[in-house]
Structure 1
Amino acid sequence: MARLKTVYRCQQCGHSAAKPMGQCPGCAEWNTMVEEVVEARPESLMAAVAGGGRGALTAASAVVALKDVGQDVEKRAAVGIGEFDRLLGGGLVPGQVVLLAGPPGIGKSTLMLQVAAKLAQKENFLYCSGEESLRQVSGRAKRLGLTAEKLLLVCETDLSKILATMEKVKPWAVVLDSVQTVSHPQLASSPGSVGQVRECAAELVRAAKARDTIVFLLGHVTKDGSLAGPKVLEHIVDTVLYFDAEQHDFLRVLRAQKNRFGPTDEVGLFEMTEGGLKEVTDAASFFLAELGRQAQPGRTVGVALEGSRPILVETQALVTPTRYPLPRRMATGLDLNRVLVLLASMERHIGLHLEDRDAFVSLAGGLRLKDPALDLAACLAVAGSTRDKAVPSDMVLIGEVGLLGEVGRVPQLELRLKEAAKAGFKRALVPARGVKDLPKIPGLSVTGVNDLRAAASAAFGDD
């Protein structure tokens, strides 16, 4: 019988100690040390089920020269959901392990059930639920109108039984909802602990690589938005996707934190409806539903770039006299430190007096972006609210603003302007240095500006 000992392990970073501590020495978090019973490293469950030995990839144990390795063309399996496929780089690769993380109620299980229904049209797909009963999963599928004869359901939290089911059914893809509910029978710690999550994920990765089975792992997040469990979980999987949204907002944003087989700068946009998650293919019409409305002071439109997708974003600003000794500065959707730099630049270079006024800047639609190309739109929104002047409703603003008040060039300017013209905008203010090599865009009058003063003059008609 293996010797047992008690250790105290941090549930955030995985640091272990022999005695209890209030603060973790590894990550400096408080009250995260949990008592665990540790024994000798357990034998691989996959090996026990399949009759093999322990190892990440027993088939690749032989030494092979690089020039002798087969150069097979990578075959991708498209899911059939455009936003999901584009985020993955065109589809799924055999043996790929995808970790999908997000806060409770965001729609992780709904998205995975829709993906499972699409993929189950080809071959057997195993959906393993550890949080819901089979009746609950089936009821959700009926509400969403999903049908697939090859979609197999199982309600199980024992990892050995899950691996045995995979060996018996031999599905080409598996969903595990969620990895925090699965327990390794040879570990004494409770499900969701660092040791359990690490070992269960490692066993599933070994099974996926050995059988070329696609595995989806659903994970929880902590209060600060990071993935619950050990950090090694993000390292051993191939792809890490984060599903997020603003509170009480119907828009869901899917981002790739890590992707060994595709880009990490793309985003997928979904809208939660009664019929499940629907793709938002036209981001401009989604965020600018009232494109033709009358111009208002403090409202401007810019074009951000998320991966290869241009998104038209409405920036709103409100500047009011303050009743406090120190004026307030608040930003929603934009980085507050960046907004503070822009406010200081406007005070210095266009004579904007904000020392006795509160300033609030927000991106409409619940978006959170860090694209510097939105600087010019944010600056003129604040200037318009301060001076009670409106930027024309058919004008789009693109440009990065520096400390010296200059308007700098931004990447993919032509792509941004084409999206603005497609949405119906007639005029655009852009960096002057980017106009020279810019081809003519039908229906859009482009004006180049060198600094904030010239931009304010062109937007508000000042002399």
Structure 2
Amino acid sequence: MRKSKSVFVCQMCGYESSKWLGKCPSCGEWNTFVEEIKEDFSSERGDIIITEKPVPKRLSEVSYSEQGRVKTGLEQFDFMLNGGLVGGQVLLVTGEPGIGKSTLMLEIAKTLSKLGKVLYINSEESNEQVKMRAERIGLKDEDIFLYPEITLESISENLLSKDFKFVILDSIQNVLSLRFSSSPGSVTQVREVASRIAEITKYKNLITFLIGHINKEGAIAGPKTIEHIVDTIIMIDQDPKGSYRILRTIKNRFGPTDNISVYTLTSRGFKEVFDFTLVSKDSPPLIGSVICPVLEGVRAVAIEIQTLVTQTQFGYPKRTSDGIDVNRLYMLTAILDKYLDTKLSMYDIYLNVTSGIEVRETASDLSVLFSILSSLKNKEIPRDVGIFGEVGLGGEIRSVPFFELRINELVRLGIKKVICPKGKNYSFPNDINAIQIDDIYGVLEFFR
């Protein structure tokens, strides 16, 4: 007879307690505990999944080739994944509702179906609904099988007994295991479904896509465990105007992270954007506005940094930043006060990255200084000027990595003047006017 007991599970992190708690001691969230019935299936689990056990194998006997990566047919998507998909890989694709997760999966399934059978587990939609979307993007006679199932046991049986090569589960939050009494989407169910599907994927050397939801905070819904189970996590965002879909790898065991690929979502599906830009050189110059090239993975993207400096109405100056760490803004304003005597303690500063991209590197420091001084001194910076560089606490301007990538991005936009750190080995195109500065006093020269 199975042993069962009542436990309270945090729906944010999966922490279990024998009694209800107002605040989770693990993640610190409030009112997240839900009662679940937990049963002991320890004697049954091994019989459900895999009967053939793996044996130890010498590392030198394991063969692998980069040429064996599977192409999805989307050039930027493959580049983002360091060349394509790998056998046994489990990918989690997540994003806001309606952002195009299911459409993207059908686009990829269209190409993958030419390489092997694709099982599309449509746990949220009927076969007819998926068929309508497939016809809209031009997918008709491909080797794709629809399977409207929500129970993990039935899905596992089909994956183990059939010869599918690719699997798409849409979505993981809607699938449940009959071994647990909790509802679909709960921490226990999501953790069980993810671990079981990943186990089968590794055993049969499949390639599996899991579509996941996000919560109201913008984080991946479900326990943190799911992020450790999968091999790759792809987040789909959109720019503030909704024109672009930006795919970013926030975890990748088979390549670099933070790579991005950019698409537009049309009535015919996803369309790749190769000349992606978030700024326009031809727009009129604005006070406090600066163009800066930043890195997204191994790709340079030009962004626009805007700053508004106004006299404070209170005793304590306000610092607000959207897109750049506010602590970095505090540090840069302190450097300006220390070496240039700008007296910014008398002013409020509001900083914004207009593209909506979160800047995670320090190469934007010099651009922020120029943006602050532009607003403070009420002087415009021409739109054909690109600025980048790291600022040290001693007021020195430091070099940044991937210098050529940044310069090439500015050249592509038609930028004619670049303000950057000094460097002996830096080379510039003939039509670029490069102004290299080595300390913060060189910034002030621009505003004299």
TM-score, L = length of structure 1: 0.90
Counterpart residue identity of residue 264, structure 1: T
Residue 293 of structure 1 is matched in structure 2 by: 283
Q: In the alignment, which of 117, 137, 150 is matched to residue 143 of structure 2? A: 150
Residue 436 of structure 2 is matched in structure 1 by: 448
Deviation at 1:101, TM superposition (A): 2.3
Structure 2 CA distance for aligned equivalents of residues 272 and 376 of structure 1: 35
Residue 63 of structure 2 is matched in structure 1 by: 71
Residue 186 of structure 1 is matched in structure 2 by: 179
Deviation at 1:179, TM superposition (A): 1.0
Deviation at 1:127, TM superposition (A): 1.0
Q: In the alignment, which of 271, 276, 279 is matched to residue 278 of structure 1? A: 271
Deviation at 1:304, TM superposition (A): 0.6
Structure 1 CA distance for aligned equivalents of residues 344 and 428 of structure 2: 39
CA RMSD of aligned residues (A): 2.2
Deviation at 1:326, TM superposition (A): 3.5
1:14 paired with 2:7, answer no
Q: In the alignment, which of 270, 293, 298 is matched to residue 303 of structure 1? A: 293
Deviation at 1:43, TM superposition (A): 6.5
State how 1:86-235 maps to structure 2 within 5 Å.
86-235=79-228
1:426 paired with 2:419, answer no
Structure 2 CA distance for aligned equivalents of residues 39 and 20 of structure 1: 18
Change (3 A) 1:320 1:127: same
Structure 1 CA distance for aligned equivalents of residues 5 and 145 of structure 2: 40
Structure 2 CA distance for aligned equivalents of residues 222 and 254 of structure 1: 18
Deviation at 1:33, TM superposition (A): 1.3
Deviation at 1:42, TM superposition (A): 5.8
Deviation at 1:248, TM superposition (A): 5.5
Q: Which runs of 5+ in 1 are unaligned?
A: none
Higher deviation after alignment, 376-385 or 242-251: 242-251
CA contact (8 A) 1:406 1:450 kept: yes
Deviation at 1:98, TM superposition (A): 0.8
SS of 1:93's partner is coil
Counterpart residue identity of residue 407, structure 2: L
CA contact (8 A) 2:2 2:41 kept: no
Counterpart residue identity of residue 454, structure 1: G
Q: In the alignment, which of 327, 348, 360 is matched to residue 358 of structure 1? A: 348
Q: Structure 1 stretches (4+) deviating beyond 4 angstroms?
A: 42-49
Q: In the alignment, which of 338, 356, 377 is matched to residue 367 of structure 2? A: 377
SS of 1:414's partner is helix
SS of 2:242's partner is coil
Deviation at 1:365, TM superposition (A): 2.0
1:5 paired with 2:5, answer yes
Deviation at 1:174, TM superposition (A): 0.6
1:342 paired with 2:332, answer yes
Structure 1 CA distance for aligned equivalents of residues 343 and 179 of structure 2: 67
Change (3 A) 1:47 1:205: farther
1:312 paired with 2:305, answer no
Q: Sequence identity of aligned pairs in percent?
A: 37
Q: Which runs of 5+ in 2 are unaligned?
A: none
Change (3 A) 1:37 1:248: farther
SS of 2:147's partner is strand
Residue 29 of structure 1 is matched in structure 2 by: 29
Structure 1 CA distance for aligned equivalents of residues 322 and 40 of structure 2: 50
Structure 2 CA distance for aligned equivalents of residues 136 and 45 of structure 1: 35
1:330 paired with 2:320, answer yes
